[in-house]
Amino acid sequence: MIPSFLLSASVSIPPPLPTLLVVPTGIGCEIGGYAGDALPSARLLAAASGCLITHPNVINGAALYWSDPRIQYVEGYSLDRFAAGELGLRPVRQQRIGLLLDAGIEPELRQRQWQVAEGCRASLGLNLGPVVTTDVPLEVRLREGSSGASWGELGQPDALLRAGEQLRDAGASAIAVVARFPEDPQSEALRAYRQGSGVDALAGAEAVISHLLVRELGLPCAHAPALSPLPCDPLLDPRAAGEELGYTFLACVLVGLSRAPDLVPLTIEEALPAGAELLHAEQLGAVVAPEGALGGEAVLACLERGVPLITVTNPSVLKVTPEALGITSGVQRASSYAEAAGLLLALREGIAKDSLQRPLDRLSEISSSPDTPMS
């Protein structure tokens, strides 16, 4: 039972502080480099800000997911365009998700994807369909850059776009893609990743697929790789465990896309229905990113706008720090996402960060005229 004095207390709740959370894909971040292991941090930042805009890599956890109305699920390419002021985000109650399957998926593995979709309809009430299979295999190829970050190539991009156009024309308002990815269960890179010391080799290629569809179709999209189940590993890192709970990675993608915001080009904003809500980059109150991964389009666009930047200690293979970019002011550093949440709360409540620290510096006085010495 809640005490009556708490119920009667008059509490002024500040409005949400729209916040962008970026954890770049495929660079081996200690938090966010695995299957949804940044989700607890995202939930905390969403609670602190009241409105968190982030990308699927942060919160996709294979068979695991967490739906939160305060989190806007926005694919990486559209996140960049939003931060640049080219797109607005329109919250929705429900998306109709078309399922795009790679013709290169074997029959049994394909059936597993189909069953996940049917299960999400029956158990979660998601609006799914239609389903389209590409006319030829997509031929995904995995690559690694000189920095150690992962990326990839698509042998048949036109086949992906043809299937995506079919889904759009059939009424899908969002697209979930499942592509067959190459695999080598005995590779040293996979062993290292499963045991917590490697980079996600799939993430870069996944970004190529979703970026292409969003850029060409203008619909929310996200990707789940089709892979054969791996043998049990007793040394599995806890961050990789979410990827090994089932036969597919699709469930979290379908849940995330089910309420992903519509992507609205700002040039057609005038055509929106009266009263339609739209989230603009100008409303951003903060951007949160790993301290060594600040070179992405979204973060740089926010810096150009003067959006407060909170950097978090979250090591990866990159070293693009404020110092490397020549940023000498306007950066608030946090040693953890928990500390970043505290800084967001201070921004949201209008509390000066300096007042929370000790020692507290004295106020300085500036001269009223060039000839008057400062006191």
Tens digit of each residue's pLDDT, the chain (375 residues): 566 655 555 567 899 999 999 999 889 999 999 889 999 999 999 999 999 999 999 999 988 999 999 999 999 999 999 999 999 999 999 999 999 999 999 999 999 999 999 999 999 999 999 999 999 999 999 888 777 788 789 999 999 999 999 999 999 999 999 999 998 777 888 888 888 887 887 888 888 999 999 999 999 999 999 999 888 888 899 998 888 888 899 999 999 999 999 999 998 655 555 556 899 999 999 999 999 999 999 999 999 999 999 999 999 999 999 999 999 888 999 999 999 999 999 999 999 988 998 999 999 999 887 665 554
Do 98 and 230 lie in a common domain? yes
Q: What are phi and psi of 297, to 5 degrees?
A: -60, -45
Number of domains in the chain: 2
pTM of the model: 0.91
Do 116 and 209 lie in a common domain? yes
Asked if residue 134 belongs to a domain, the reply is yes
* Contact indicator for 223, 175 with CB cutoff of 8 Å: no
Do 210 and 289 lie in a common domain? no
Give the count of beta carbons closer than 10 Å to the beta carbon of residue 112. 17
Asked if residue 304 belongs to a domain, the reply is yes
Domain region containing 178: 94-256
Asked if residue 367 belongs to a domain, the reply is no
Do 332 and 202 lie in a common domain? no
* Domain-terminating residue out of 256, 272, 297: 256
Q: What are phi and psi of 28, to 5 degrees?
A: 75, 35
Asked if residue 102 belongs to a domain, the reply is yes
Give the count of beta carbons closer than 10 Å to the beta carbon of residue 292. 22
Strand partners, 140: 154
Do 326 and 196 lie in a common domain? no
CATH of the domain at 51: 3.40.50
